[in-house]
Structure 1
C-alpha cells in the first residue's frame, strides 16, 4: 500500500492474514478516512472467515471506509466468461456487501479485471472497490475505472471521486417543470433507459441520482430556451406594435399578437414560480407579479448564507480554504471530549 505523503498521513490500524487497513488524514483539511486492501483466499470457508474479519475491521473504522483489492470471486454470471449459474460463494459475497451497506459502483472501461492468458477464454471481474455511505456522501461522480493491463494477469482499477474542492449545489425540484408539456412522459422515458445492477435499494438510489443529473441538465437547457423564446416573442410583439402605429392590423395579425401575449404570460408564470421557489417565500400568492421581489429575496438568502470572512485570533481571514479549516478546527474542538472530563455519578 502506497500513498503521497505530501497529501496524506497514513497510520496502520489493523493487519490480518488477508487484509491490511490504514487510516489516512489529509495534510490540507484534516479529512480522515480508512482504506482496507484485500487479497481474498480461494476456498469458500476461508472467504467467509475473511469477510467476518472485515466486518470487525469496519467497527473500528469510524468514518468513511473504502475496501479494495482481489476478492477472488464475482457477484453475477455476467462478471465471468462462461458462467451459467450463481454459486454459493457468489451469493455469500453479494449478501455480505448488502449487509455491510457498501456500494459497488459500475466498472467503466471493460467488464473483466482478470484474464488467464492472451489466448485463453477465461476472464472474470475479481477486483473491485467497495465504499461506505459516508464516502459516497462526501464525494461526487464516483467512478470505478479499468486501466490497461501491462504485465500482470490483473488489470489495475482506479476509483475516481471527482474534484477535491467541493462546490455545493443542492438539487431542488422546480415546481414549474410539471407545467411543461410532455414532462411526465420524459421522466418515464429516462427512468426506463437507466440500466443499473445490484440490490433493489442500491438500484433505486443510483437511478434517482441519474435522474437528478438528467433533470439538472434538462432544466438548464430548457430554461435557456425559455429565455431565448421570451426575447424572440418580445421582438415579434414590438414589430407588430410598430406596424400598428402606421396602420390597422389585419385579423390574422391581431390573432398572432393575442397568441404572443398568451405565450408571454405563460412564460412569466413559469419564471415567477421558479424565483418564488428559490426565495422560499411561501406566503405570497402564486398569481402576484412579484418576480423582481422574489429575485431580491433569493439573492438576500444567498448573501446571508455565505461566510466570506472570519476574524481568527484578531486577524481577518478571507481565503475560502483557510475559513473552512478554521471552522472545521473550531467544531472539532467543540465536539471532542476533554481528557479530564468525567460523567456525573
Structure 2
C-alpha cells in the first residue's frame, strides 16, 4: 500500500497541484492525504489535477476562512470505501484494501494550534478508536512534537508533548520512522524547524522496515571502513543486532550526506582552479608547479566523477531489475545527462 501525506498550504496555485500529481505518479500512490487545502467550496477540477486522472473517490473537510481544509483521495480499484467521518481536524475513511484482510481506518489529520483544542482532539480520536475495531493508520500534520529534539529555534511545550505521547501510547500506535530530512516544517528563513508530520499505525500491523540502499561507491571513500568499525564496536545499552544495525544505518546516512556535500564543494573548487591554470596556459605564463597541480587535481576530479557514475549505474541496474524495458527512458536520460556535462558547448576564438 502506497500512501502520501502532504501539507500543501493552499492548493490554488497550479504548480503545487502539478507537484503533488507528479509525486503520485512517481510513487504509485493509492491514497493521498492533503492538509491545509484552504478550499472553502468543492472544486473537483483542482482535486482531479492533484490526483492526475478521473479514476478516484474523495472525502473532504472544507476550510473555515483562509485556514484549514483536509482532503483524502484514493483509487477505488484498490480501496473500497465503507464509511466516512469528517470534522474540522480530521477525515476518517473506513474501507477494505485489495490484497489485505480486515477493515482499514485511514485517518487524515490536521491538528489545531491551540493546546487545549489539541488535547480534545486526542481524546476524541482515542474514543473513536476504542469504539471501532480495525487497522488504523493516522497520518498528517499533528502540529505537535514528541520530544525537545523535534524542535529547533522554537519553544518546547512539555505538557503538549506529554499529552501527545500519552495518546499514542493509549491508542496502541507505532510511530513509523521517516526517511529524508530530520524536520518536516521550516519557516522561510530556516531559523525555526519542527517535526510535525508523522505516520502512526496500529502496533499489530506489520508495515515492514524502511528500505536502506547501500551504494558500492561508499567502499572507495576514505573513512567508510573506519566509521563502520567504530560504530559496530561502540557499546550501547541494548546490544541486539537490530538496534546496532539501526544505529549503523543512521550513522552512515549522516556521514554520506556530509561527504557528498564536501565533495560537491571540492568539485566546484577544482573546476575553478583548472580554469584558472588553463587561462595561464593560454597566456604561456603557467609555472611547472601549476602544471603538476593541474594533472593532480584532474585525477582527483575524475575519481569524484567515477564515484558518481558508479551510483548512476547501480541505480539504473536496480530500476532495470524492477521495471525492465520500461526503464529505458531513465537509463538513456542518465547517459545523456552525463554526456551533456562533458560536451564542448562552443569555442571562443579571439574573443568571438
Structure 2 length-normalised TM = 0.39
Q: Max radius of gyration: which structure?
A: 1
Structure 1 length-normalised TM = 0.40
